Structure 1
Amino acid sequence: MSLRSPRSALRVGLLLACAAHASCGASPDYTAEDLEAATAQLRDHVRLRTFETGLLFGEGWVARAPDDAELRALYARQLAGWRLSREIREQADAVFTDDPDSPWGLHIQALGHLAGSDWDPAVEPSRRAWEALPLPEFAATYLQVLGYSDFEAAFDFLETLDAETRDTPELFAARAALENQARYRREDPAWADSSLATYTEMRERWPDHVDGYLRPAEDLFRANRSEEALPLIEQAVALSPGSVDVRQWHWWILFESEVLPADERRPAVEASIAEFQDAAPESVRGFSALAAMYRDLEDEQRARELEAAIVERDPTSRHASLVYLRQARAPSQELRRIREDHGEDSPEYRAQLEVVRDAVYEYLERPHYDDTYLGGAYIDLFYALQDMDPIPAEELAEAVRGLVEYERLNPHITYGTALRAMIDHTPYAEEAAELARNGLTASIDYVRRLRSIFDTEGELEQAARGSLSGVYDGMGWAYFKAGRIEDARHTLERALVLSENGQARFHVGQVYEHLAAEAEEREDEEQAVEWLDRAEDFYIAGFGGTRGENLNEAALEALYERRRGTRDGIEEYLATLDERDRIRRRERILESRVEAAGTYESFQLARLDGDFVDSADLEGKIAVLHFWGTWCGPCIAEMPGYQKFDARYRDDPEVAVLSISNDKATDVIEEYLAKNNFNFTVLVDDGYVNRSGVSAWPTTWFVDREGYVQFVKIGSTMKLDEEFSWRVEAIREDTGTP
């Protein structure tokens, strides 16, 4: 199969035609054969991962043949080896200027996203490139992108490829990498063996392709199989002695494993370094790899000399930016050491906070290749400023603004810890509320990016609700500090509807205390007492019966003194909180009994084992019918409590506890139960949920012996076993034993 596009061939023909006609301008200084040889050589650099030499060679050829899109794509592949996303984008733009729909331009665009570890935006251009021009390298890129963005879709795509496309080194390497991912994504270690077998076949078919040796050596080393990894990486070194990628893994396997005696490791690494320096051209990428290795060898002086050479050669390069970042992060690492050795109240720790701040400011003034690492720098700055005494308010506010602009990996810090610090320690509460509002989308996007780590849709939803709850908490607290009391109240209460949140409970309690103070000013003592009671309830719920550093505990103590005018008896009061909370919760639950109890829709539903349960068989028993699904976050959150509740009544002949799952596939339910060691009875929905009118999740009915629903609980329950049993026992007491 030819790897040159028809469009590229057409351009070569036009260039040769122009050479024969003066009207076309200056003739090129190369022939069609020269161009073919150049692209072949660039492919060799990809095959051998000699991106340093390939970059220099490709740069020269792009200057000579700027209109050849395939040539630019091969040059972009060298740039991708360096992870130079900015330069790759420039190559894509150059191709799109001439042809906005060029498949080579789309391929380059996808490479640029991959170089920046930005998987989702790479999906569309890689797919379009493959569909427009079905080349193996395009298929391999699309497969790689899907492997990170939509793992199962990657396997589906692999099955659609024809034999000719699959029978190429690019697809063998991409398939083996996908199989290795499956080991973790599918939680099946057998996929690791499949991956290694694919690499073995690749070496047999294409013994001169370095990925057939390098990639399995990496995987074996990570699996602590260094004795198997070493011969493979040494074969890769023999194939490509000047490759940074190959040499780095050679050094790590020699030095960090026990394949060699301890006294032989350093000499072996140094010998490999000397061979590399003879084989490879000097480059900032090579200097960066060497600096990292010398630092592992504890030769800090040599590492710094190499980093100085990087900055001197190319102060605006990506590798120079990494040097600046390491220098900026070093004081933060020292700060952590000081905290462990001396504590946060020590003079050493306080002095180091200033060093961290100054180092970050210096880093922010440096030239940056892109903004990838600015978010991490602002995190270091924020934590240093937050620990200062006094906290510099204006600097803290600027640090939070920097986090909002640049930090993408830790929204729980940006829109949680940092935003609350901005609210509490700066005069910009109103601005913080607006920043929090913008953080709602960022938080959801972050959770969705982590979709693969969740086993069920319910677990994903639970995480999303928790993330949103934190953002609403920050927003509501900002409203409170800005004097927007009603906005604060509603927003904080919304945070608690989404997820249990002790800090939000403290913030709601503070709002209620403020409303109590307003009522006192109006001389409405009854209303004031009601607000204070509510504040106390929220503090108690957030207190959770634990002692130590807890905002709700401190608030309870302050409220106790406010209401009584003294701290006398406070220890006895705090000691009774658990029981007081329990009594109040039980009172509210018993008061929630359905006023006009009615019967429910009858059913015949299958259990997971295939046997059927008929609602008619529940007559004479107290029945608990719990509607849930593995896709439901609040359902998942309360399942451990439900398992405990089910076990409590499993042997009780008067009580039947049944769960009805709304999941579409029984295997999803079975896998979830097995993973969590749950064994409660699950009935499979056949449309009954819709027929019965259940529309909120989870929903639980508590049915008396005559079939009347006496209690309905909608939403999750923090202390499920206890609170569900109160309802069951209340029905038992009312109806008595038949």
Structure 2
Amino acid sequence: MSTRSRRSGPRVGLLLTGILLVCGACGGGGAPPDYTAEELEAAKARLRDHARLRTFEAGKLFGDEWVARAPHDAELRGLYAYQLVGWGLSREVHEQADAILADDPDNPWGLYTKAYALLVDGEAKPAHEMALKAWEASPQPEFAFLYPRALVRDDFEAARAFLVSLDEETRTWPEVLRMQAELESAARYELDDPTWADSSRATWAEFKERFPNHVLGYTRLANEAYNARRMDEWTLLMEAALELAPGSLEVRSQHWRGLWMSELLPREERLPAVEASMAAYREAIPETVEGLQGMASMYREMDGEARAAELEAQIVESDPGSYHASLVYVGETRRVGRELFEIYEERGEDSPEYRAQLEVVRDAAYRFLERPLYSDVFKGGVYLDLFRALEAMDPVPAEELAEAIRGMAEFERLNPHITYGDAPLAMIDHTPYALEAADLVREGVPIMLERVTESRDFFDTEGEFDQALRSSVSGIYDVIGWAHFKAGHTEDGRHTLERALAIADRNRDARYHLGQVYERLAVEAEEEGDAEAVTEWLDQAEDSYIAGFGAGRGENPNQTALEALYERRNGGREGIEEYLATLDERDRIRRRDRILESRVEAAGTYEPFQLARLDGDMVDSADLEGKIAVLHFWGTWCGPCVVEMPEYQKLDERYRDDPEVQVLSISNDRTNDVIGEYLAKNDFDCTVLVDDNYVDRAGVNAWPTTWFVDREGYVQFVQIGTALKLDEEFSWRVEAIREDTSSP
């Protein structure tokens, strides 16, 4: 198959235009076009220029005009659709594809445009299948980029193989070299090999040299320089990008964030510098809602709420049913949701302020759902916010909650563990629709299992993946079993819950639910006067709660149920502390044994580093020789990391004066300011090193991750994810290494 472009040249365009003019004159088929073949080809070239410069704002305006003038030119529509992709306008991209395919169902530009529409919608598989058809019908540079871009989401190796299969001439296209650089960047994660970052950087450097008029060569390398804190290099690259594309929101946004978030400028100079760049941007292009949205978003990041609100009001007034207006609407709901979380953090869920904010969140969600929305894409998240607010109310409004959960089931797909887990449980506990909740879970089983399967690459071993799969399936049985029990079908509930625990016996929720079932069976036995059966059922309830005791972070319903059961069986709380202490020690011994058994079988050394502390002093991993080291990778952006930081601070304090142990954390945050402000706000003074892309070189791709290193530099234990009781469990590992090695 040839990979040469089959785009028609100017001579063919002239011939086609001549035919159209003749037909228009002879057949009465409408007015002749108001452009020449040369002008049409120039318009296509200009749309390609907008793609090259990432000036989608101006590109869309230009394309609007030309598609109206030449509506039957498929290539023009396809190039215009790419400008719409830059705006995130899924519906309009579909419209362009449908218009092309209505004239010719096999038109390669129509297939290409439809593939992009599907990709914007997150439908990767049909997107790459359609893009391949377009490529096979007419190998175009744009198709050579889109096909592997869509394919990589399903099959990384197949996308790489496609690029390798292209002939030499095709591989000289900028679209192909760009895709190569992006695949190399992805390879560091897909292949768990950080050296691919160097390959990607080299390819982008080659791209910049070979295609100096393509803005991506500059912006991609600028991003690499920014991440490595090479701000002089970043400045030069961004200046070149801005000279090429002063009217590109994509380029400007990168510039604004670099000026604002880096330490390139003193803090008092950052806002004026960003606003000067914004002014230059507005001078470069006509005003668009896309540009207004980008500037409003930046003002939000800079805490310029009033200015952001002004820009957003312009968007809504301009077109209340547009995509960008919908972004404004959803932004309102998210902000009140963040305020709710902040109130929760500062004042707690029992405070009047928190209770009042729940009403604000509910009202904001209903207000959003009544708006003239561009599409349904944001409804799922809003229904999720509404569900969370309603569930936290006292009393819970049952009918409203049920409707919110039904809305989640229809629109929310990003969080299946909530949509088909937490939400149905809430429906079971707070509404009369327990069996409907079970049906919702059954309908969501394929989605939940697909999500687990998609996460396969995050697990190092088949055993870990199997454990995750079992946990998901166990959760499904747990919810269905609990629904049957709450609907009055006690035996069905018991058997289903027992099945849940047969699949994953550490499912604490299933333990709690099954304990409740056993207690109900004890009540029924008591009503029948069967004292022996009462004792047996209560013993089983106690065993179930004990098995779930201490099985997870946060409030554990098994402990509450266990205390209530103790009071029921003993006529009061006398002796309960001793009883619970015995159980806690039992759990502690079990956790310690499990952790010590997790020692790395074939311990290896780690990538050496020289990293700066927040005060600028350098720390060299060579200085850790002869010491036991705890290396903790985290970031303020990582929710689980932040949750366990108070306990990490305790661990740091535990070993701060121990000459044999060094505890170091490596933050993956963008700026020192972010780290410093977080530590100061929480009164943390643990030693923090600033990542300079070391995580890529070392192959760390999950947060939090912690290495426990012996005196000779070998990693003996690895903890990925949060610990149940960090200070205690991390110290067990440290002391185990200390016991195995003598002091130098």
Q: Could you state the TM-score of these two structures normalised by the residue count of structure 2?
A: 0.75
2:371 to 366, 369, 376: 366
Q: CA deviation at 1:640?
A: 6.0
1:37 aligns with 2:39: no
Q: Distance in 2 between matches of 1:639 and 1:565?
A: 36
Distance of aligned partners of 1:525 and 1:281 in 2 relative to their CA distance in 1, 3 Å threshold: same
Which of 104, 108, 130 aligns to 1:103? It is: 108
Instruction: Please name the residue that 2:480 is paired with.
Output: 475
1:421 maps to a residue whose letter is A
Deviations 1:439-482 (A, max 9, x none): 21121122233333233443333222222222221111111111
Q: Report deviation, 1:16.
A: 3.2
* Pair 1:551 & 2:551 matched: no
Match of 2:338 in 1: 333
Q: Secondary structure at the match of 1:350?
A: helix
* One-letter amino acid matched to 1:204: E
8 Å CA contact 1:537, 1:581 repeated in 2: no
Distance 1:265 1:580 in 2: 56
**Distance apart, 1:299 and its partner CA:** 2.9
Structural mapping, 1:373-522, within 5 Å? 373-499=378-504, 500-522=506-528
Distance 1:375 1:224, change over 3 A: farther
Offset, 1:238: 0.4
Question: Is 1:287 matched with 2:289?
Answer: no
Cα distance in 2 for residues equivalent to 1:136 and 1:238: 25
| Deviation sequence 1:200-226 (CA, Å, 0-9, x none) | 111211111111112222233234333
1:18 aligns with 2:23: no
Q: Name the aligned partner's letter for residue 554 of structure 1.
A: T
Of the three residues 49, 52, 64, the one matched with 1:47 is 52
Task: Assess if the C-alpha contact under 8 Å between 1:545 and 1:578 holds in 2.
Answer: no
CA distance in 1, matches of 2:289, 2:439: 43
Closer, same or farther: CA 296–472 of 1 in aligned 2, 3 Å: same
Shift of 1:39: 1.2
In structure 2, how many angstroms separate the alpha carbons of the residues matched to 1:305 and 1:375?
Answer: 27
Q: Which has the higher contact order (CA 8 A, sep 6+)?
A: 2
Q: Is the 8 A contact 1:409 1:446 kept in 2?
A: no
| 1:71 partnered with 2:79 | no
- Cα distance, 1:417 vs structure 2: 2.0
Which letter maps to 2:253? Q
- In the alignment, the residues of structure 2 paired with residue 95 and residue 677 of structure 1 have an alpha-carbon distance, to the nearest angstrom, of 60
For 2:38 and 2:552, the matched residues in 1 are separated by 78
Query: 1:348 Cα deviation (Å)?
Result: 1.4
Aligned mates of 1:409, 1:54 — CA distance in 2: 32
Paired residues of 2:14 and 2:38 also in contact (CA < 8 A): no
Structure 1 residues 202 and 39: CA distance shift in structure 2, 3 A: same
2: CA distance between counterparts of 1:304 and 1:566? 58
The structural deviation recorded for 1:253 is 1.5
SS of corresponding position for 2:368: helix
| Partners of 2:96 and 2:113 within 8 A in 1 | yes
Give the aligned partner of residue 126 of structure 1. 131
- Hey, what's the Cα distance between the residues in 2 that align with 1:232 and 1:645? 44
Establish whether residue 256 from structure 1 lines up as the match of residue 261 from structure 2: yes
Instruction: Choose 323-332 or 11-20, whichever is displaced more.
Output: 11-20
Q: Give the direction of change, closer, same or farther, for the CA distance of 1:328–1:646 in structure 2 (3 Å limit).
A: closer
Amino acid at match of 1:506: Y
What is aligned with 1:357?
A: 362
Change (3 A) 1:465 1:641: farther
Q: How far is 1:40 from its partner?
A: 1.2
* Counterpart in the other structure of 1:244: 249
SS at match of 2:538: helix
Change (3 A) 1:516 1:52: same
Shift in alpha-carbon separation, 1:579–1:449, aligned structure 2, 3 A: closer
Residue 203 of structure 2 is matched in structure 1 by 198
> Would the aligned equivalents of 2:75 and 2:109 in 1 still touch at CA under 8 Å?
yes
Task: For residue 182 of structure 1, give the secondary structure of its aligned residue in structure 2.
Answer: helix
Change (3 A) 1:90 1:8: farther
Partner of 1:141: 146
- One-letter amino acid of the structure 2 residue matched with residue 235 of structure 1: A
Structure 1 residue 187: Cα displacement: 3.3
Aligned to 1:701: none
> What amino acid does structure 2 have at the position aligned with 1:141?
L
Q: Equivalent residues in 2 for 1:726-737 (5 A)? A: none
The 1-side partners of 2:45 and 2:211 are apart by 16
Q: Deviations over 1:490-512 (max 9, x none)?
A: 22122212222011011112222
- Secondary structure, in 3 states, of the residue corresponding to 1:71? helix
Unpaired stretches in structure 1, ≥5 consecutive residues: 586-637, 648-670, 679-738
Unaligned runs of 5+ in 2: 603-699, 701-705, 710-744
- 1:366 partner SS: coil
Q: 1:542 and 1:6, CA in 2 relative to 1: closer, same or farther beyond 3 A?
A: same
Q: Does structure 2 conserve the Cα–Cα contact (< 8 Å) formed by 1:545 and 1:577?
A: no
The offset of 1:545, in angstroms, is: 8.7
Cα separation, partners in 2 of 1:520 and 1:318, compared to 1, 3 Å: same
- Aligned mates of 1:264, 1:129 — CA distance in 2: 50
1:297 Cα deviation from its structure 2 partner:
3.7
Question: For 1:200-279, what aligned pairs fall within 5 Å after superposition?
Answer: 200-279=205-284
Contact 2:299 2:308 survives alignment (8 Å): yes
The residue aligned with 1:315 is 320
Q: What CA distance in whole angstroms lies between the structure 1 residues aligned with 2:538 and 2:588?
A: 19
Quote the residue 2:733 is aligned against: none
Aligned 8 A contact 1:419 1:474 in 2? yes
Partners of 1:386 and 1:208 in 2: CA distance: 54
Q: Do the aligned partners of 2:4 and 2:139 also contact (CA within 8 Å) in 1?
A: no
The answer to whether the 8 A contact 2:340-2:357 is kept is: yes
Question: Shift in Å at residue 4 of structure 1?
Answer: 4.8
Deviations 1:93-149 (A, max 9, x none): 122222222222221122113323443442222222223322222121122223333
SS of alignment partner, residue 152 of structure 2 = helix
Give how far 1:356 is off.
1.3
The root-mean-square deviation of aligned C-alpha atoms, in Å, is 3.2
1:25 partner amino acid: G
What residue identity is the alignment partner of 1:219? E
| Mapping 1:526-537, distance limit 5 Å | 526-537=532-543
Whether the 8 Å CA contact 1:136–1:166 is kept in 2: the answer is no
- Residues 593-616 of structure 1, C-alpha deviations (whole Å, 9 max, x = no match): xxxxxxxxxxxxxxxxxxxxxxxx
Cα distance 1:219–1:645, how it changes in 2: closer, same or farther (>3 A)? Answer: closer
Q: Is the 8 A contact 2:13 2:37 kept in 1?
A: no
Select between 275-284 and 54-63 the one with higher mean Cα deviation. Answer: 54-63
Q: Which moved more, 1:464-473 or 1:311-320?
A: 464-473
1:538 partner amino acid = S
Q: 5 Å matches for 1:645-660?
A: none
Describe the superposition over 1:628-648 as per-residue Cα deviations: whole angstroms up to 9, x where unpaired.
Answer: xxxxxxxxxx9967657999x
User: How far apart are the structure 1 equivalents of 2:338 and 2:37?
Assistant: 56
Residue 70 of structure 1 aligns to a residue whose secondary structure is helix
Change (3 A) 1:539 1:250: same
Indicate if the aligned counterparts of 2:10 and 2:38 stay in contact, CA closer than 8 A. no
CA contact (8 A) 2:498 2:514 kept: yes
